[in-house]
Amino acid sequence: MQIESIEIENYRVFRRAKLENLPRLVTLVGANGTGKSTLFDVFSFLKESLSQNVGRAVMRRGGLKELISRGSTGPLQISLKFRESGGRLATYEIAVGDRDGRIVVEREVLKFRRGQRGKPWHFVDFSCGKGTAITNESAYGDLGASEERAEYALDEPDILAIKGLGQFKEFRVVSEFRSLIESWQISDFHIAEARPSNEDGYSEHLSTRGDNVAQVAQYLYTYHRKQFDHILEVMASRVPGVEKVEAKPTEDGRLVLRFQDGSFKDPFIARYVSDGTIKIFAYLVLLHDPKPFPLLAVEEPENQLYPELLPELAEEFRAYARRGGQVFISTHSPDFLNALKLEEVYCLKKISGFTTISRAVDSENLRSLYEAGDLPGYLWKQGLFEGLNQ
């Protein structure tokens, strides 16, 4: 799945904002408080609404009054346009409000377009826990077919229909979309928790907080040795001072990582190396996952990292996106931006208390400077992104 556009209304600083023509690698820039973290929270909100329900996801954010944009009465609305695995354009829309003081899903629609001119089929169309769903999914590819629908009722009005119906095999399209959102990875990386240990066992994927990096390294070492060896090669070639990284299995089957610093005779066990070294190792473990997350969101990956590493890290993110995982990144680093294409950069700016979003490549001035050889990071540092939204 690749998200092509996102529309957000009445979600905190986003009274009405839209990201369009999204590439596989999307990078957000803007001053503090312009909503970069809030955009990532939109992804988290949708994921939590599935894993729990919409009411709980809203209450975790302080309630609807705190979540809806200041001065607005709602509803909160999110719309995603995306390409599913077969290449068809689809739209998912959700509107959240309250009825008699209770949080409800006022409208939820999942629709797929049929060709260039065909009328979309509404695979899901619900309001306040009741609605209809397609019952003849197998006929969707036949342009001469008509949709057949049946009525359904959910247990509560704050449950998403894609959650309720997505549990059943007969709703394959709905189930696939639900699984995609459940597989999103919104990183909340904490370096103190990411430091590898000698704990037993393994994990297939890095957690959102990075606290299982040793277990994922063990998994890659055991089942995907080629990827693991490549990670060690990258560490040794790119991290300043690190001449060699080796993985030593212990007698009881656990893995000990040892980092050789050129200034010292003996290597360091992983728990004694710098934060930056551990962080780049954790990112490489994440970005060389054999099964990329369909969506990966990472805030400010430059923190604790040596500036010269950032262009190469940006390329690692781009390679991950090419393998199938759409990537959203926020950054304040000119060094990171310098490794990007102008069409991969989106600028957030507050106007009258609310955020607007623009593509850097849509600015004629920025585009001409970029085509003349200036890099995005230098243009950002010079303040030339200012006024882009006006």
Give the integer Cα–Cα distance in Å for 273 and 261. Answer: 9
Q: Are residues 162 and 64 in the same domain?
A: yes
> Is residue 33 in a domain?
no
> What pLDDT sits at residue 140?
73
> What pLDDT sits at residue 304?
86
> What pLDDT sits at residue 389?
47
Give the integer Cα–Cα distance in Å for 244 and 267. Answer: 9
Tens digits of residue pLDDT in 192-207: 776 655 556 678 999 9
> What pLDDT sits at residue 274?
77
Candidates 249, 258, 195; CA nearest to 218 is 249
Tell me the DSSP string of 107-118.
EEEEEEEETTTE
> What pLDDT sits at residue 41?
97
Q: Are 86 and 153 in contact (CB under 8 A)?
A: no
> What pLDDT sits at residue 88?
77
- Looking at the DSSP bridge assignments, the partners of residue 261 are 242
CATH number of the domain where residue 230 is located: 3.40.50.300
Q: Are residues 166 and 204 in the same domain?
A: no
What percentage of residues in the chain have a pLDDT greater than 70? 89
What kind and span of H or E run contains 102? Answer: strand 102-114
Taking the alpha carbons of 214, 215, 216, 221 in that order, is the dihedral positive or negative?
Answer: positive
pLDDT at 137 over 80: no
Question: Domain total for the chain?
Answer: 2
224 by Cβ neighbours in 10 Å (0-12 / 13-18 / 19+) ranks as: middle
User: Which has more pLDDT, 220 or 267?
Assistant: 220
pLDDT at 216 over 60: yes
Candidates 363, 347, 364; CA nearest to 355 is 347
Q: With bands split at pLDDT 50, 70 and 90, how would you rate the model's confidence at 218?
A: confident
Q: Are residues 154 and 277 in the same domain?
A: no
Q: With bands split at pLDDT 50, 70 and 90, how would you rate the model's confidence at 118?
A: low
Q: Are residues 86 and 115 in the same domain?
A: yes
pLDDT at 113 over 90: no
Q: With bands split at pLDDT 50, 70 and 90, how would you rate the model's confidence at 260?
A: confident
Of the residues 184, 214, 248, which one is the last residue of a structural domain? 184
Q: Are 156 and 173 in contact (CB under 8 A)?
A: no
What is the domain extent for residue 63?
A: 2-26+40-184
> What pLDDT sits at residue 390?
43
pTM value? Answer: 0.92
Rounded to an integer, the average pLDDT of 76-87 is 87
> Is residue 353 in a domain?
no
Tens digits of residue pLDDT in 165-195: 877 777 888 888 888 899 999 998 877 776 6
Q: Are residues 192 and 279 in the same domain?
A: yes
> Is residue 248 in a domain?
yes
Rounded to an integer, the average pLDDT of 76-94 is 88
Q: Are residues 162 and 279 in the same domain?
A: no
User: Which has more pLDDT, 43 or 274?
Assistant: 43
- What order of strands is seen across the sheet that includes strand 268-269? 242-249, 255-261, 268-269
pLDDT at 40 over 90: yes
Tens digits of residue pLDDT in 62-72: 999 999 999 99
Q: 166-170: list long-range contacts, CB under 8 Å, 24+ apart.
A: 170/135, 170/137
Q: With bands split at pLDDT 50, 70 and 90, how would you rate the model's confidence at 314?
A: very high
Q: Are residues 130 and 215 in the same domain?
A: no
CA dihedral 108, 114, 115, 116 (to 10 degrees): -50
Q: Are residues 45 and 171 in the same domain?
A: yes
What percentage of residues in the chain have a pLDDT greater than 90? 57
Give the integer Cα–Cα distance in Å for 160 and 129. Answer: 8
